Structure 1
Amino acid sequence: MKFKPIDLTLAAMFAALMAIGANITAWIPALAFGSVPLTLQNFFCVLAGLLLGRRLGAVSMIVYLLVGLIGAPIFAGFTGGFATIMKPSFGFILSYIAGAYAAGLIVDRSKKPTFPTFLVAAFVSLAVSYVIGTTLLYVALTNWAAVPGITYLNTWKGMLVFIPKDLVLTFVTAVIAPRIYYAISKNRTSHTQRYA
């Protein structure tokens, strides 16, 4: 698939939104709920897949990953660099690629996606991100970090505090996505025709 300039612009925009979403409580501390920070990474990951499709949505997450790995402080806690790979939470960054792809795949396969399509795609994306991210977190904790007494079930229990927030944000994403999707689709089509 050949990407057009507008596609690359959209991918870069979502990579930037991921960087903002990772550190939103640093700019707006009031958004932290006690010890639980409100990050918008899953929100923007799902939105990227819904609006950009499986390929471009995944590319935007790959751009976010690569920019962070080369040293830009765009991961959670304003971290970055190749050493981030060794952090237990790195699996979640990888999971966003699959999450965006999953959401985009469902929308792409619908000729004219409606709200139920976006809703299913959004929650499938969230589930994919959680399964991959939590599984890789468990692997990291039991192998690289060698934390004693960690089980796969306990790892999931540790994620429970984040799930309600992500469920609400994912529903919001599905609600706002259809109108934005058709606006973006129209602009991409007109941009293609203009420069064809």
Structure 2
Amino acid sequence: MTLTTSRLTRIALFTALIAVGAFISVPIGAVPITFQNFFVIMAGLLLAPADAFLSVLIYMLLGLIGLPIFAGFRGGLQSVFSPSFGFIPGFAVGAYVIAKLTQGETRPIRLFLATVVGELIFYAVGLPYLYYILQSMSKAPESFYALLAIGVIPFIPGDLFKMVICSVITPKIKKAIK
């Protein structure tokens, strides 16, 4: 697959949207509530798998080289030591899987189910990282439930809302693009 101008533009657009989503942030503890996952999900629903992955990977690399595009206007290599950083690689894998599961799909229920899988991947990568970083700071939660209370439970209502919205608007966007 060659990188055409059109593909590069779409990848760059979603990279920028993910960065904008990070700026829409509500700090509630170790992991802020952001709008990043909305744009990561949309990248997965609207781009080819490799392109969805690349859009998140480029976002992550731009942040790691120092651009303040992570939540809280942070950036740089020190961001790797943030408890919430582990969700970003999870976003890359999740976007790829969502895109793989939804190629050619326009039925909202199927799109929604793919977003559920993607969100589970976000958490499967992000939560162990969150625990590890908190443990290295001597702030590790004492139980698995306490970890969920920090890194999952507060996010469920918003994530479900974003997943439903993405699943409903995607068919309309795909139709408009064609």
Residue in 2 aligned with 1:92? 87
Residue in 1 aligned with 2:144? 152
Is contact 1:138–1:152 with CA below 8 Å preserved after alignment? Answer: no
Structure-1 separation of matches of 2:120 and 2:159: 10
Residue ranges of structure 2 left out of the alignment (5+ in a row): none
Displacement of 1:174? 0.6
Single out whichever of 114-123 and 8-17 deviates more from structure 2.
114-123
Cα distance change, pair 9–83 in 1 and its aligned pair in 2 (3 A):
same
Matched residue type, 1:55: A
Matched residue type, 2:40: C
Displacement of 1:4? 1.4
Residue in 2 aligned with 1:169? 162
The sequence identity of aligned pairs, in percent, is: 37
Q: CA RMSD in A?
A: 2.0
Displacement of 1:140? 2.0
Residue in 2 aligned with 1:128? 121
Residue in 2 aligned with 1:178? 171
Residue ranges of structure 1 left out of the alignment (5+ in a row): 26-31, 187-196
Q: Give the structure-1-normalised TM-score.
A: 0.81
Cα distance change, pair 145–38 in 1 and its aligned pair in 2 (3 A):
closer
Residue in 2 aligned with 1:29? none
Cα distance change, pair 77–2 in 1 and its aligned pair in 2 (3 A):
same
Cα distance change, pair 149–13 in 1 and its aligned pair in 2 (3 A):
closer
Give the 3-state SS of the residue equivalent to 1:88 in structure 2. Answer: coil
Displacement of 1:167? 0.9
Matched residue type, 1:15: T
Measured against aligned partners, the alpha-carbon deviations of 1:105-159 in whole angstroms (never above 9, x if no partner) come to 1012xx45322221111221112112211122112222x3232553333111223
Matched residue type, 1:157: A
Residue in 1 aligned with 2:49? 54
Cα distance change, pair 161–16 in 1 and its aligned pair in 2 (3 A):
same
Is contact 1:114–1:178 with CA below 8 Å preserved after alignment? Answer: yes
Higher gyration radius (CA) = 1
Q: Give the structure-2-normalised TM-score.
A: 0.89
